[in-house]
Amino acid sequence: MKRISLTQHLVEEQRLNNTIPAELRLLIEVVARACKTISHAVGKGALGDVLGTAGSENVQGEVQKKLDVISNEILLEANEWGGHLAAMASEEMETIHLIPHRYPMGEYMLLFDPLDGSSNIDVNVSIGTIFSVLKAPEGMQTPTEKDFLQPGNKQVAAGYAVYGPQTVLVLTTGHGVNCFTLDREMGSWVLTQRDMQIPDQTKEFAINASNARHWQPPVKRYIDEMLAGGTGPRGKEFNMRWIASMVADVHRILNRGGIFMYPADEREPDKPGKLRLMYEANPMAFIVEQAGGAATNGQQRIMDIQPEKLHQRVPVFLGSKAEVELVTSYHQA
């Protein structure tokens, strides 16, 4: 079987669809190279003194792990000098990161969650990186936070890396979803799954069941119907899977079908959810839709939400289309 590298795939997709200009290809390659560096740091674990907390908090008030800080720095340093970016935004930083004046300013903007699933770092469970690429607005001089506040349907590329038994990179530029596996010996990304499609029929769901007592009625109804099993209204047995790394849960769903849910709940009714629209929900929604699935906040398509702030949170329901549509209909009833 002929091995196709990430670069070859991007060049061929540009020839086919004319959607990946050279600048965007270079940007994706640099992000992929940064993910390779993060994978190496993750793989060292305790040997590289990267486990444990960093003794600091991020903008959300969450305790940062050492690998959170390391991964954030790797992505910033890898991407600021190439000339294809106007600015970056990270879940770990309060505001945007401008490209230093000594480097040329490009036409794209990069958003990322440098290390998703931080609670799993110290117990050797899969974690990952999520990223989203936007086009800078026409005529923009100095980038501001407002320039980043574009709905998800404006994304030109999105992807995630999973640092698990294998390191994989899943990518879309708006023409399907492809998966690349890191060949650790060669140091290259090799195409291993082309045009991924989420299976329509599913018997799996992913949700943090410890929050069940706080769920709102539509979520309780949906989960209760699944838990009723073969004799219930759904007429089949469901299994729950929960890794607590969004990248790992979504990657399973992309391959096996299912639904991932992180709903808002009654603990803090004024908070719309936990996951961040710009760094997690939008890129994952883009990937899932490109693979034939759906992604909503319970009321509307996630990628149609107009962001109001950089670290905005949203409820998330994504995965197999029929399941997402069902739980969304319960919210709209």
Structural tokens at position 152: 């998800």
Residue 183 labelled as part of a binding site: no
Residue 115 labelled as part of a binding site: yes
Residue 273 labelled as part of a binding site: no
Residue 79 labelled as part of a binding site: no
Buried b (16+ CB within 10 A) or exposed e, 71-110: bbebbbebbbebebbbbbbbbbbeebbebeeeeebbbbbb
Residue 117 labelled as part of a binding site: yes
Residue 280 labelled as part of a binding site: yes
What span, in angstroms and rounded, lies between the C-alpha atoms of 264 and 268? 8
Among the listed residues 48, 9, 41, the one whose alpha carbon sits nearest the alpha carbon of residue 28 = 9
Residue 208 labelled as part of a binding site: yes
Structural tokens at position 14: 């540009």
Angle between helices 22-44 and 6-17 (to 10 degrees): 150
What span, in angstroms and rounded, lies between the C-alpha atoms of 305 and 314? 10
Q: What are phi and psi of 316, to 5 degrees?
A: -135, 130
Residue 91 labelled as part of a binding site: yes
Among the listed residues 186, 197, 156, 171, the one whose alpha carbon sits nearest the alpha carbon of residue 9 = 171
Q: Which residues are annotated as a binding site for substrate?
A: 116-119, 208, 274
Q: Which residues are annotated as a binding site for Mg(2+)?
A: 91, 113, 115-116, 280
Q: Which residues are annotated as a binding site?
A: 91, 113, 115-119, 208, 274, 280
